[in-house]
Amino acid sequence: MNRLGFPLALLLSALLCVQSVGAAPPPGGPSVALLSKVILDVLRKEVGKDWEKAVRGQTLASGDMVRTGVAALAIIKFKDNSLVRLREKSELTVKGTQTGNSFSKSVEITTGVVGFNVQKQRAGEEFRFTSPTSVASIRGTAGRLNSTTGSDSLMVTEGTVVLTNRTSSRSVNVSAGYTGISNRDGTVQSRLSTPDEQRAALEALRDDLRKRLEIELRDPNGKTNRLKIDYNE
């Protein structure tokens, strides 16, 4: 007993409760992904903090953002080994929700281009890409998503993606070899990809900044040939 007549154990317990209520939660949350590759000008922003230079191996918590500059590349690896390649002049936010043993992931694209290889999702899990215009639900797919003001284009190289327009709530299935187009006016469609779109999708899935220069040559007989030269920036 102390002077006030309260048992010491009861007094200590009350103090601990006050400290627990007044303590601030730790900043950030559990990691959902990490930066497995960073090339040139890449920035990272933690929740509640300013933008800072990104470094390979840094973890990303739910709500963290990544931004790339001119000719830059960031590769984001999620806990299930799904890969998202953020191409130049692009910005996104990663999010993750754990429910029991199920882990659902989402990537919110502000603007730009991403190439993705998403692992097959387990029952109760999902992987989604969202933009101001669309939602792309993925369960084990590869492809490229380009989000610009008022329009999204989705090129699928493997698997099938459900592309939903956020204005009209209309959805289409976009399978391998097809391109989905979702517009701010609510229209959404799926059509066969053009050769240029197929090349762009494969380019977005590269792990480097290699570019291709194509030169058209004409021989003395008037026959034309196209010379293709790959190079790294």
Q: What is the DSSP string of 85-154?
A: EE-TT-EEEEEEEEETTEEEEEEEEEEEEEEEEPPPPPTT--EEEE-SSEEEEESS-EEEEEEETTEEEE
Average pLDDT over all residues of the chain? 83
Tell me if 169 is assigned to some domain.
yes
Question: How far from the centroid of its chain's Cα atoms is residue 160's Cα?
Answer: 17
Tell me if 4 is assigned to some domain.
no
CB atoms within 10 A of CB 102: 13
What domain range includes position 220? 26-232
Check which CATH number belongs to the domain holding 79 and give it.
2.60.120.1440
Global confidence as pTM = 0.76
| pLDDT attached to residue 214 | 52
| pLDDT attached to residue 209 | 67
Please count the structural domains in the chain. 1
Least confident of 11-15, 58-62, 68-72, 219-223: 11-15
Tell me if 42 is assigned to some domain.
yes
In this structure, the dihedral spanned by the alpha carbons of residues 83, 50, 38 and 153, taken in order and rounded to 10 degrees, is 50
- Return all residues near 97 (Cβ < 8 A) that are at least 6 apart: 62, 103, 104
Tell me if 224 is assigned to some domain.
yes
Is the confidence at residue 73, as pLDDT, over 80?
Answer: yes
| pLDDT attached to residue 62 | 92
Tell me if 8 is assigned to some domain.
no
Q: 2-6, 25-29, 171-175, 227-231: which has the highest mean pLDDT? A: 171-175
Is the confidence at residue 90, as pLDDT, over 70?
Answer: yes
Least confident of 23-27, 164-168, 183-187, 195-199: 23-27
Handedness of CA 27, 31, 36, 37 (dihedral sign): negative
Q: Which two tokens stand for residue 56?
A: 């390979």
**Mean pLDDT within 8-31:** 48
Query: What distance, in Å, lies between the first and last C-alpha atoms of the chain?
Result: 76
Tell me if 36 is assigned to some domain.
yes
Query: Model confidence at 28, in pLDDT bands (50, 70, 90)?
Result: low
Tell me if 194 is assigned to some domain.
yes
Tell me if 140 is assigned to some domain.
yes
| pLDDT attached to residue 18 | 39
Q: What is the pLDDT of residues 105-127, one digit of tens each?
A: 899 999 999 999 999 888 778 89
Cα separations in angstroms, 139 against 102, 115, 119, 126, 147: 14, 15, 7, 6, 20
| pLDDT attached to residue 163 | 96
128 close to 97: Cβ distance less than 8 angstroms: no
Q: What is the pLDDT of residues 179-228, one digit of tens each?
A: 999 999 999 999 999 999 999 999 999 987 655 445 667 667 777 776 65
Pairing of strands 178-183, 151-158: antiparallel
The residue written with tokens 């762009």 in the block is 200
Rounded Cα distance, 203 and 129, in Å: 19
- Return all residues near 147 (Cβ < 8 A) that are at least 6 apart: 109, 110, 111, 112, 113, 131, 132, 133, 134
Is the confidence at residue 26, as pLDDT, over 70?
Answer: no
